[in-house]
Structure 1
Amino acid sequence: MNVAVLGRGAIGSLLVAQSQLNQTPFDMWWRTPEPEDIRVWLQNGDTVSLKHSEKVSPDLLILPLKAWQISKALNDIKPYLSPQTCIALLHNGLGTEENTLEAFPENSILRLTTSKAARKNGDDVYETGYGQSHAGWLREPPTAQRIAVERLIAQVLAPCDWHRDISQPLWQKLAVNSVINPLTAIHQVNNGQLADKSFRTHIDELLREFCRISALENRHFDFEDLQATVAKVIALTAENFSSMHQDIYHHRPTEIDYINGYLLNRAKLHGITLPLNQSLYSQIKQLESNYLSSSKSPQNSARKN
């Protein structure tokens, strides 16, 4: 199969590096080609260098991007895609699926999620943790292509579980992200610090709000099971910094609209409120606004010039 991965992000670079070691060739499409290679440092001690590839219509295109980047990225590369290209969405949160299905009515669409972890520093990417992946079709391709894609994804995202209904694991991942991401971003702490008892009330209240809206969406979760899941993720990723923490730290847009914001939008449709989600959402948006406004100030503009 001709497979392409879009972007220079940490997770995408990690997937391509691991694929090369497994002799599964992947192309990398960088939205803005850079002269420097990406170096990926794997936990097993291997180092892999990655280069930009010329765009040739792929059988499978994987988009390991931020959720807010998906729509524009697909629009930009649409001329390079054929109706037979399978599009695989790999990001935190929910909210891109319906737009992608509508914008590409002839293409098969695959939804992925993973807890694999990697950190990027300049042109270096460091694998920071192994993890479980989940996959499921939003729109299936013909049988032969479906089998080929499923085999490839099972290799590059191993261990990977396939789901007839991918929305259930996506909602469970959303529960974890709606807790860990905003709390670590606002307080600028690593994941492990959320185990402190000072965060327990907020974590429990966020999970109660999640259970309330997920039940209205016919996605039923046990509150105590979610508590245990979040505690496990915090423990296993104790030294890691969440993606939203890193976005706030580096003054980048966050995925808050596709995580807590997504829950708030669903709650609005059902006529209910989620007070703590709303509070955290507002705080993150204010932080984004502060540094975006600062970057546009006359003083900063003068410095850049």
Structure 2
Amino acid sequence: MKFAMIGAGAMGLRYGILLQEAGNDVTFIDTWQPNIDKIREQGGAYVSRDHKDRHLVPIKLETPESYHGDPDILIFFTKQMQLADFLKRCEHFFNDRQYAFTCMNGMGHIEKLQQYFADDKIIAGTALIATVLNGPGDVDFMGKRGAGKMNMANLTEKPDEMTHRLFDELEKAQMHPTLTTNFKGTLMTKVIFNSVINTLCTMFEIPMGELGNFEKAYDLGRQLIDEAYDICERDGITLVSSREEEMHALDINTRIDMPLHYPSMYQDMIHDRPTEVDYINGYIAKLGREHNYEAKTHIFLTNLVHLAEYHRANEKKARDAAKAEAMQAKTTQSA
């Protein structure tokens, strides 16, 4: 199959490279100039697995403006706040035959995709797959080959031939997909999962295992999950796991499957990038308000993450100012 991977960050590179290795034609499309420059300079992206076996994988890379292909499926792996701009810049090569597929974190992206693709051409899912972008053109696949799993569902909840073809290619790429016919329940179950792990690990800058081994981790997670499940019940969303199953998944993922992993929200925070908390905990709180339910814990954590972002931004300004002052003093002395 022919794929266009919209976004060549950590997850975009992982999905795209594994689909390429499974025999598919993949072109990566990105807008982050340092990433574009490094990949073109290297002739591809460097790939490691658990910090080992770093090697160069040749890939095809374009910008939205330079790409004029006609892929069967466009796979979107951007940050939520970047998607609208990506879609606008890529619109010139969209057509009615193509399918859009995404496993992006958070919620808010489906409505944006619907502005460009018909409902029966949209497939979305969730990924329990840990990946780290070390820097431009340098990605680390966490876990042994075949580690992780994912869910996928059609927006119409009616799988068609293209859905099954995509499923087969993802299976060949060892992504271990599960096909469901519960679209919003599938997506929201992962949003709730991320609302616990991503936010708490980011707030305290800890790996998932440290959270999972904390004696009060169950109590912290249970409070967030109960609020989210209460809201989904009010909205008529049938989640794909029970509250107890979600708690068990949190326990297994933090303590056993990925104890050394830092979630993507943490990676954004430490690199001074905006986090997606408004599309995760903030989305849950917004949905609650639509049903006169105040998700007080989710609201509190959303505001705390923004406070941490604000604090880091002020620290960065202070560092930059001190650096500029030192450079100015050095220049004055030289003169």
Same fold (TM over 0.5): yes
199, 208, 220: which one aligns with 2:217: 199
Cα distance in 1, alignment partners of residues 119 and 208 from structure 2: 41
Q: Is the 8 A contact 1:133 1:157 kept in 2?
A: no
- Give yes or no for the alignment of 1:225 onto 2:248: no
Question: Mean alpha-carbon deviation: is it higher for 257-266 or for 95-104?
Answer: 95-104
In structure 2, runs of 5+ residues without a counterpart are 329-335
Aligned partner of 1:126: which letter?
D
Measured in 1, the distance between the counterparts of 2:108 and 2:122 equals: 14
Map 1:1-305 to 2 at 5 A: 1-31=1-31, 32=33, 33-34=36-37, 35-36=40-41, 37-42=44-49, 47-54=55-62, 55=67, 56-105=69-118, 108-122=121-135, 123-129=137-143, 130-139=147-156, 144-156=161-173, 158-195=175-212, 196-220=214-238, 222-235=242-255, 236-292=257-313, 299=321, 302=324
Note closer, same or farther for the CA distance 1:142–1:219 as it changes in structure 2 (3 Å cut): closer
> What's the CA shift for 1:42?
3.7
Distance 1:271 1:150, change over 3 A: same
CA distance in 2 between partners of 1:263 and 1:50 (Å): 40
| Alpha-carbon distance change, 216 to 300 in structure 1, aligned in 2, over 3 angstroms | farther
User: Aligned equivalents of 1:274 and 1:292: distance in 2?
Assistant: 27
Q: Which sits farther off after the overlay, 113-122 or 101-110?
A: 101-110
Once residues 300 and 258 of structure 1 are traced to their aligned partners in structure 2, the CA distance between those partners, rounded to angstroms, is: 34
Whether the 8 Å CA contact 1:295–1:301 is kept in 2: the answer is no
User: Aligned AA for 1:94?
Assistant: M
- For the 8 Å contact 1:184–1:191, the answer to whether it is kept is yes
Cα shift at 1:19: 2.4
Whether the 8 Å CA contact 1:63–1:90 is kept in 2: the answer is yes
Q: CA deviation at 1:237?
A: 1.2
Q: Is the 8 A contact 1:85 1:107 kept in 2?
A: no
Residues 189-214 of structure 1, C-alpha deviations (whole Å, 9 max, x = no match): 11011121143332221122122112
Q: 1:26 is paired with a residue of what secondary structure?
A: strand
Separation of aligned partners in 1, 2:80 and 2:91: 17
Distance 2:181 2:174 in 1: 17
Distance 1:144 1:214, change over 3 A: closer
2-side partners of 1:104 and 1:227: how far apart?
A: 35
Q: Distance in 2 between matches of 1:80 and 1:271?
A: 42
Identity across aligned pairs (percent)?
22
CA 1:140/1:208 → structure 2, altered by over 3 Å: closer, same or farther? closer
Paired residue secondary structure (2:115): helix
2:160, 2:226 → 1: CA distance? 41
Partners in 2 of 1:112 and 1:259 — Cα distance? 15
Deviation (angstroms), 1:174: 1.5
3-state SS in 2 of match to 1:57 = coil
Q: CA deviation at 1:265?
A: 0.5
2:5–2:16 Cα contact (<8 Å) kept: yes
Change (3 A) 1:157 1:214: farther
Give yes or no for contact 1:15–1:157 (8 Å, CA) kept in 2: no
Any conservation in 1 of the 2:6–2:12 contact (CA below 8 Å)? Answer: yes
| Counterpart residue identity of residue 225, structure 2 | L
Measure the CA separation in 1 of the matches of 2:190 and 2:229: 13
| Closer, same or farther: CA 189–143 of 1 in aligned 2, 3 Å | closer
Paired residues, what number?
305
What TM-score do the two structures reach when normalised by structure 2? Answer: 0.82
Moved more, 246-255 or 97-106: 97-106
Q: TM-score if structure 1 supplies the norm length? A: 0.89
- AA at the equivalent of 2:302: Y
